[in-house]
Amino acid sequence: MATFEYKAAAPGGAITQGRLEAGGRADAMATIESRGLTPLRLAEVGGSAPTLRSNGNGNGTAAKATSLKGQFSSLQSKKVPFSALEDFTRSLSSLLTAGVPLSRALTILYKETTQPAAAVKWRELHDAVIDGAPLAKAMERSPDVFPSIYTAMVESGEAGGFLDVVLAQIADFQAREKDLRAKVTAAMMYPAVLLTLATGVVIFLMVFFIPRFQTMFDGFNATLPLLTRVIVGVSNVMRHYGIFVVAAVGAAIWYGRARFADDRTRRLWEKFLLGTPVVGPLMAQIAMARFCRMLGTLLGAGVNLVNGLNVARKSLGYQTLIDLVADSTERVKKGETLAASLADARAIFGGSTLEMIGVAEESGRLDQELVRLAGTTEITLDRQLKTAVSLAEPLMLFIIAAVIGVIFIGMVIPIFSMQDYIK
């Protein structure tokens, strides 16, 4: 018999700790669950570093982990889809709310998932929890799957005994993030398709249409208008050196991406985008909505304001904007209110927004107000995206028509003077 120390959550949310004797980890887990508790941590007293041990039937955790590792070793490098993480979060919350113990809930989830890469990660999570690690610490071992915001909220839920509630909040946050990204993607889809089609039409004209006119003009031995010569010259470059042009564009894109790895270059580019008339305000509003929703969700989950700010400011997405709120944490530590600490970040937070945050702090409902602000901003952002797209469509059509019209005029002008060439 071995002695184990455990930490578990009671049905009412209270955290209890104690010791028990059992023949192994599996027996200890079963004993804890039989008492109506949800295991959070289990460690053998007097043992060395926690290890995976076999139960009495010989089907130990270590053996299972080894088998699974061999089966999916080629899949471990694959990324877990965002949809799989969202399903995992919501399902785990539902299982815990229904009273299913954490270890059993994790077992159900890794067995039922249809994503092989997710099955590996969920199984690793299960084994780490069975081995005595808290759920948040087990998730921190896979930062590529569980972001820092995720683990911070889970840790607060474990400490407060309301893990199921926190997981439900995370799932709602993920759903909102997914909807916001879908709206932005849908808004950009039509302009992107239109630009692609226009590029294809121009390439077709330059490569296949212009050379036919060029053959006709060469027979007159006359000087062509400047516009026509420019168009013919571009056509010749595209036909004879097109592969080199494509290679040069590809090299430029690769160089640009490599340069963006440099922090200074990325900041300059972000500063330029944020300063543009239409794109800049949209980017700032998207960042503000994400920040408010994340900070509000963290505060609602029991995370204190300082830790919430440290995590939420990373959600802004742009280093330039993160810099604007970098000192807000220190100012809050010194006793300033959140509204006062964010007063210098006017590029993100307008005066009315800061006023509402200040009033919410005074009334003690900051978490609710931040989530409400995020929802209101997202509705406004949706309308602005639709307006921007509706304005961009005729502008792009005008530009496309202008380009094609210039090509057409440049090819037609010599035809009008063809009679002079013949004389």
pTM of the full structure: 0.57
Exposed e or buried b per residue across 191-211, where buried means at least 16 C-beta atoms within 10 angstroms of its C-beta: eeeeeeebeeebeebbeeebe
* pLDDT-derived band at 399, boundaries 50, 70, 90: confident
Q: Does domain 1-47 have CATH number 3.10.20?
A: yes
Instruction: Measure CA 157 to chain center.
Output: 23
Q: Residues 40-79: pLDDT tens digits?
A: 667 777 643 333 333 333 333 333 333 433 443 333 446 7
Instruction: Output the CA angle 235-239-242, nearest 5 degrees.
Output: 105
Q: Considering only the C-alpha atoms of the chain, give the largest distance between any 2 of them, rounded to a whole number of Å.
A: 113
Q: Residues 168-184: pLDDT tens digits?
A: 877 877 777 777 777 77
* pLDDT-derived band at 221, boundaries 50, 70, 90: low
Mean pLDDT of 351-377: 87
State residue 132's pLDDT score.
80
Which is more confidently placed, 56 or 144?
A: 144
Euclidean distance between CA atoms 125 and 151, whole angstroms: 13
Taking Cα atoms as reference points, which of 188, 86, 211 lies closest to residue 146?
A: 86
Across the chain, mean pLDDT equals 76
Q: Residues 195-218: pLDDT tens digits?
A: 888 888 888 888 887 787 777 766
Taking Cα atoms as reference points, which of 310, 307, 306 lies closest to residue 337?
A: 306
State residue 11's pLDDT score.
65
User: Where in the chain is CATH 1.20.81.30?
Assistant: 161-423
Whether the pLDDT of residue 388 is over 70: the answer is yes
Asked whether 59 and 76 are in contact (CB, 8 A), the reply is no
User: Where in the chain is CATH 3.10.20?
Assistant: 1-47
Q: Does domain 161-423 have CATH number 1.20.81.30?
A: yes
Instruction: Measure CA 333 to chain center.
Output: 29
Taking Cα atoms as reference points, which of 327, 351, 353 lies closest to residue 341?
A: 327
Asked whether 341 and 361 are in contact (CB, 8 A), the reply is no
CB-count burial class (<10 Å; 0-12, 13-18, 19+) for 99: exposed
Pairing relationship of beta strands 2-9 and 38-44 according to DSSP bridges: antiparallel
Asked whether 28 and 16 are in contact (CB, 8 A), the reply is no
Q: Residues 100-136: pLDDT tens digits?
A: 888 888 888 888 888 888 888 888 888 888 888 888 8
State residue 417's pLDDT score.
67
